[in-house]
Amino acid sequence: MILKKPKSLILQQKQQKQQEEEKNLKRFPKRKRTVKSYALGDATNDNDDSDFDDDHGVKKHCTLNDLSNGPVKNLWPLSRIPKDYDAKAVLSKKFQVPMAADKSNNSVISNSFGARRTLGMRRRPGSMNRLLYDPNAEDVIILWDPKEEEGLQRKRQEEEAAAIAAARGTTSDDENDDEKTVVEEELKKEQKPLRPGKKSLSEILGLKKEESKKAPVMLDPILTRILRPHQLDGLKFLYRCTTGKVQPDAFGCIMADEMGLGKTLQCISLVWTLLRQSGEMGKPTIQKAVITCPSSLVRNWANEFTKWLGENRVRPLVVDNSNSKEKIATVKRWAAAQGQVVNPVLIVSYETLRAYTKYLKNSPIGLLLCDEGHRLKNGSSLLFQELNSLPVQRRVILSGTPIQNDLSEYYSLLDFANPGLLGTPNEFRRNFENPILRGRDADASEKDRQVSDQKVAEFWAIVSRFTIRRTNDILNKYLPTKYEHVVFCKLAPLQMELYNIFMKSPEIKKLLRGQGSQPLKAITMLKKLCNHPGLLKLPEELDGSENVLPADYHSTGRHATVNPTFSGKFMILERMLAQIKRETEDKIVIVSNYTQTLDLIQTYCRQHRYGVLRLDGTMTIPKRQKLVDRFNDPEGEEFVFLLSSKAGGCGLNLIGANRLILFDPDWNPASDQQALARIWRDGQKKDCFIYRFIGAGTIEEKIFQRQSHKQSISNCVVDEATDSERHFSLADMRQLFQLNNDSECETHDTFKCKRCIQGKQYRKAETMQYGDASSWDHYDKDLLRLPDPMLREEAGKGVVSYVFGFISHLK
Q: What is the pLDDT of residues 197-236, one digit of tens each?
A: 667 777 677 666 666 788 899 999 999 989 999 999 999 9
Amino acid at 608: H
| Mean of pLDDT values over 356-374 | 92
Q: What is the pLDDT of residues 57-77, one digit of tens each?
A: 444 444 444 444 444 444 444
Say how many C-beta atoms besides its own lie within 10 A of residue 666's C-beta.
21
Q: What is the DSSP letter of 250?
A: B
Convert 610-630 to b/e letters by CB count within 10 Å (16 or more is b).
bebbbbbeebebeebbebbee
Distance CA 794, CA 693 (A): 13
Q: What is the pLDDT of residues 327-340, one digit of tens each?
A: 889 999 999 998 88
pLDDT of residue 75: 43
Going by pLDDT thresholds of 50, 70 and 90, the confidence category of residue 304 is very high
Give the domain 222-418 fold: Rossmann fold (3.40.50)
Q: Which of 308, 269, 375, 318 is nearest to 649 (CA)?
A: 375
Residue 494: phi, psi to the nearest 5? -65, -40
Residue 291 half-sphere exposure toward CB, CA atoms < 13 A? 26
Say how many C-beta atoms besides its own lie within 10 A of residue 600's C-beta.
22
Distance CA 576, CA 525 (A): 26
pLDDT of residue 180: 53
Distance CA 162, CA 515 (A): 71
Cis peptide before 229 (omega within 30 of 0): no
Cβ neighbours of residue 237 closer than 8 Å, sequence gap 6 or more:
253, 255, 468
**Do the domains 485-807 and 222-418 match in fold?**
yes
Distance CA 403, CA 408 (A): 12
Q: Which of 382, 440, 395, 448 is nearest to 421 (CA)?
A: 395
Amino acid at 394: R
Q: Which of 533, 22, 623, 606 is nearest to 300 (CA)?
A: 623
The residue ranges of every structural domain in the chain are 222-418, 422-465, 485-807
Sign of CA dihedral 485, 491, 492, 498: positive
Q: How far is Cα of residue 682 from the mean position of the Cα atoms in its chain?
A: 16
Going by pLDDT thresholds of 50, 70 and 90, the confidence category of residue 384 is very high
Asked if residue 367 lies in contact with residue 394, where contact means CB atoms within 8 angstroms, the answer is yes
Going by pLDDT thresholds of 50, 70 and 90, the confidence category of residue 127 is very low
Distance CA 78, CA 338 (A): 42
Radius of gyration of the chain (CA): 40
Q: What is the pLDDT of residues 232-259, one digit of tens each?
A: 999 999 999 999 999 999 999 999 988 7
Strands laid side by side in the 482-489 sheet = 612-615, 640-644, 588-592, 659-662, 688-695, 482-489, 800-807, 777-779
Largest Cα–Cα separation, the chain: 147
Alpha-carbon distance values, 294 to 272, 408, 624, 646 (Å)? 22, 23, 12, 11
Domain spanning 485-807: CATH 3.40.50.300: yes
Distance CA 787, CA 796 (A): 17
**Burial of 710 (C-beta count, 10 Å sphere; 0-12/13-18/19+):** buried
pLDDT of residue 86: 81
pLDDT of residue 279: 85
| Mean of pLDDT values over 753-768 | 84
pLDDT of residue 694: 94
Q: What is the DSSP letter of 377?
A: -
Note the pTM of the prediction, 2 decimals.
0.67
Average pLDDT, the chain: 79
Distance CA 684, CA 480 (A): 7
**Burial of 311 (C-beta count, 10 Å sphere; 0-12/13-18/19+):** exposed
pLDDT of residue 582: 92
